[in-house]
Amino acid sequence: MPELSGSTYSELDASNSQPAPNGMPEGMAPSGVNDAWRAGMGALARFWGRIQGRYASTGAANAYVLTPAAALAAYATGERYSFRANFTNTGAATLAISGLVAASIKKMSNAGKAALSAGDIQNGQPVTVEYDGTDFVMTTPVANTFNGTTPLAMAGAAINEAFATIASAATVNIGAAPANYLQVTGTATITAFDAAQAGTERTLAFAGALTLSNNASIILPGGASITTAAGDTAIFRSEGSGVWRCVDYQPASGKVLPAALASAATAFTGTDATQALTASSLGSNVSLANNGYAKLPGGLIIQWGSISVPINSVATGTFPIAFPNTCFQIIGSYETSAAPGNAAGIVPISASQYTAQNQSTSSAYTISWIAIGH
């Protein structure tokens, strides 16, 4: 019994010249014409029935069975078969036609052929598959497609805005999580996330305090690790190969997340454009003693103090700290309510010392001073 999918019939008209009923040779006997036409009509009818879903399947437990009126002799690579499903699948499924060995039904994914997921075929659904020499590959859409209204979670990736909870760990698999919005519980330090397609985004809400470690795999604002607080949220975007960048971080307190914090030395240098000043970094550059100093961002230093100078004498004093470069100016005055007849004199003699002169010939005095340098 010839089939359109077999080798009996040729796409070239002149080649269909086998003896009836497999062909119509030139000058064939009239008695063979009806046999040849009946064979062709049967082949067309069988082909039409196989691709148009004439038959409903039987079977159960993810094993579909198709029994056409004319038995199929063998599966043909590239041929399509259609049926109306008699049950909803609950996982990977197979199809057997005409008692032949069952072959797996597969669907296409961005990673190639894949086993069916539960619900990919629904009861009563018209299904068309194409045999590729090994499996039956669905050419009709699976039932598990987004309908625009019902949220749908895919294994290994989220295409909806579902919510899920995930525990903190050294590596947290947010890419494989079945949701885009994840609450992170626990206190374990997070040093990495799993790999996900570049452009994938996840929103994380933290249930408590833990450390997000800034490194080559987790790129955080300001290049600094973050200690979370309950209610903090963050949006991470995958850059591929396991690298995730935090594109937004919102502390529950409403405070602006600082950049990397400047040390006292960095604050004094005043050349870093990325680190933030703090009360600590500024306060560490100040000494509020009677002989003290204030080191300002940018390198300017203000120092102050006093020195006792005997009658009509010169005394040498040492600055609380040495100016790294030079003392620009120093100004002094006597510590007295009754001004002496002669002014106090004071000059820097190096980056670390100065001299003060008491020009009074009647009394020793303490000279207070203030100096500016860098």
Q: In which residue are the tokens 């294994």 written?
A: 155
Beta-bridged to residue 293, according to DSSP, are 287, 303
Min mean pLDDT across 83-87, 135-139, 271-275, 346-350 is at: 271-275
Buried b (16+ CB within 10 A) or exposed e, 21-38: bbbbeeeeeeeeeeebee
Q: Report the distance separating Cα 35 and Cα 138, nearest Å.
A: 36
Compare 20 and 4 and report the one with higher pLDDT: 20
| CB neighbourhood size of 97 (10 A) | 25
Decide if 224 contacts 214 (C-beta within 8 A): yes
Write down the domain spans for the chain: 13-49, 58-138, 153-250, 288-373
> Across residues 246-273, what is the average pLDDT?
76
Please check whether the domain covering 288-373 is classified as CATH 2.60.40.3940: yes
Torsion angles phi and psi, residue 181, rounded to 5: -110, 115
pLDDT single digits (tens) 157-167? 445 567 899 99
Compare 290 and 255 and report the one with higher pLDDT: 290
pLDDT at 293: 95
Decide if 82 contacts 52 (C-beta within 8 A): yes
Q: Report the distance separating Cα 269 and Cα 90, nearest Å.
A: 67
pLDDT at 30: 84
pLDDT at 343 over 70: yes
> Across residues 60-87, what is the average pLDDT?
92
pLDDT at 250: 94
Min mean pLDDT across 92-101, 128-137, 330-339 is at: 330-339
pLDDT at 258 over 60: no
Q: Write out the two tokens for 167.
A: 């525990």
Choose from 3-12, 230-239, 283-292 the range with maximum mean pLDDT.
Answer: 230-239
Cα–Cα distances in Å, from 325 out to 321, 351, 369, 374? 12, 7, 19, 6
What CATH class has 153-250? Answer: mainly beta
pLDDT at 146: 52
Confidence of residue 9 (pLDDT cuts 50, 70, 90): low
Look over the chain and give the mean of its residue pLDDT values, rounded to a whole number: 87
Q: Report the distance separating Cα 338 and Cα 172, nearest Å.
A: 75
Confidence of residue 1 (pLDDT cuts 50, 70, 90): low
Q: Report the distance separating Cα 5 and Cα 39, nearest Å.
A: 14
Backbone φ/ψ region at 48: left (φ over 0), alpha (ψ -120 to 50), beta: alpha
Q: Write out the two tokens for 302.
A: 């203000």
Q: Report the distance separating Cα 74 and Cα 161, nearest Å.
A: 46
> Across residues 100-122, what is the average pLDDT?
94
Min mean pLDDT across 30-39, 96-105, 224-233 is at: 30-39
Compare 267 and 310 and report the one with higher pLDDT: 310
pLDDT at 210 over 60: yes
Decide if 371 contacts 329 (C-beta within 8 A): yes
Q: Report the distance separating Cα 330 and Cα 350, nearest Å.
A: 12
- At a CB cut-off of 8 Å and minimum separation 6, what does 340 contact? 334, 359, 360, 362, 363, 365
pLDDT at 153 over 60: no
Beta-bridged to residue 126, according to DSSP, are 84
